Amino acid sequence: SERSGYSIPSISDWECGREVPSERAIAALEAALGTKLREEA
């Protein structure tokens, strides 16, 4: 998939519904996506 560009394994687990994202994973995603995650959630 084209979303596999993330370098943090826990993020793919999160997208697949296998685990709740940790604060560290969320922070990394926010940095990657321009901190829009919590605003759009």
Q: How many domains does the chain have?
A: 1
Residue 1 lies in a domain: no
Residue 4 lies in a domain: no
User: In 5-38, which positions are buried (b, 16+ CB within 10 angstroms) versus exposed (e)?
Assistant: ebeeebbeebeeeeeebeeebbebbeeeeeeeee
Residue 21 lies in a domain: yes
Cα(30)–Cα(35) distance, rounded to whole angstroms? 4
Residue 2 lies in a domain: no
Rounded to two decimals, the pTM is 0.33
Residue 33 lies in a domain: yes
pLDDT value of residue 31: 84
Cα(21)–Cα(17) distance, rounded to whole angstroms? 10
pLDDT tens-digit map of 1-41 = 455 555 556 566 556 565 666 788 778 878 888 756 556 65
Residue 3 lies in a domain: no
Residue 32 lies in a domain: yes
